Amino acid sequence: MGQLDGKVAIVTGAAKGFGLATTKAFVNEGAKVVMTDVDDKEGQKQAAEIGDKVIFIKQDVSKEEEWPQVFEKAEHTFGPVDVLLNNAGILIFDNAETFKLDDFHKILSVDLDGVVLGQKYGIQHMKKHGGSIINLCSIAGLIGIPNLFSYNAGKGAVRLITKSAALYCCEKKYPIRINSVHPGYAHTPMVDAYPEMRQSLEALHPMGRLGSADEIANMCVFLASDKSSFSTGSEFVTDGGYTAQ
């Protein structure tokens, strides 16, 4: 038996990287998954390769009007949603002195607004039967990084809205757990797009390497499963020792 047998999950940003790896891991553990992404072509391709336990829906997580239809399609196709992975995110290199306000708002619209909206509709749809909401954050939600100013702002906020929402659900007696996952640098299209930085990024991690998308997916499987039933409002760091220094 799989750890997620009978569960229905929504994974945003699922066309590649952590989202795609976690979708595959969820399916391997018995879940049915609704994949969403702005990249319609790649999302449809990956869904077709994974098989009939997944469907793909094109979604811009920053647009509130697109969230209800994702949950409605999931419920119509597979049944009530048990797991939501708020994974979709973008990155721009900038700093506190020269950042552009348009870029700052662009980062926040996806990396923060997308998570805020996911939580909102996840809570609304899970509050009767329960579930697990997982917010894919970053070590940038725990520590400052000089050339990731806007990204720091978004991920730092995700860390705390996770805790706020988790406590709200406890207060309301909703059987919903909400946690954040904080990867270090890992092999994803977002990181691998900068091969000239690989050696310097590896050196930041005491384990001497970057993480893999599968290693992050394994943490998400744990949080999606009933094995993490006493964890809510918590931070799960998967960073090869980066933040232990």
For residue 191, name the pLDDT band (cuts at 50, 70, 90).
confident
Q: How does pLDDT run across 87-128, given as a tens digit for each residue?
A: 999 999 999 999 999 999 999 999 999 999 999 999 999 999
Higher pLDDT, residue 130 or 188: 130
Pick the CATH number of 8-238 from 1.10.3720.10, 3.90.1150.10, 3.40.50.720, 3.40.50.300: 3.40.50.720
Mean pLDDT of 155-180: 98
pTM assigned to the model = 0.97
Q: How does pLDDT run across 209-219, given as a tens digit for each residue?
A: 999 999 999 99
- What residue segments make up the domains of the chain, in order of their start? 8-238
Nearest to 196 by CA among 88, 90, 93: 93
Between 149-171 and 113-126, two packed helices, what is the crossing angle to 10 degrees? Answer: 20
For 215, the token pair is: 């290693």
**Is 34 in a helix, a strand, or coil?**
strand
Q: Report d(CA 136, CA 60) in Å as an integer.
A: 16
Q: Which residues are catalytic?
A: 151
Nearest to 3 by CA among 175, 237, 236, 220: 220
Backbone angles phi and psi of 12, in degrees to 5: -90, 155
Q: Report d(CA 16, CA 174) in Å as an integer.
A: 32
Backbone angles phi and psi of 131, in degrees to 5: 170, -175
Q: Report d(CA 128, CA 126) in Å as an integer.
A: 6
Q: What is the per-residue pLDDT for 92?
A: 94
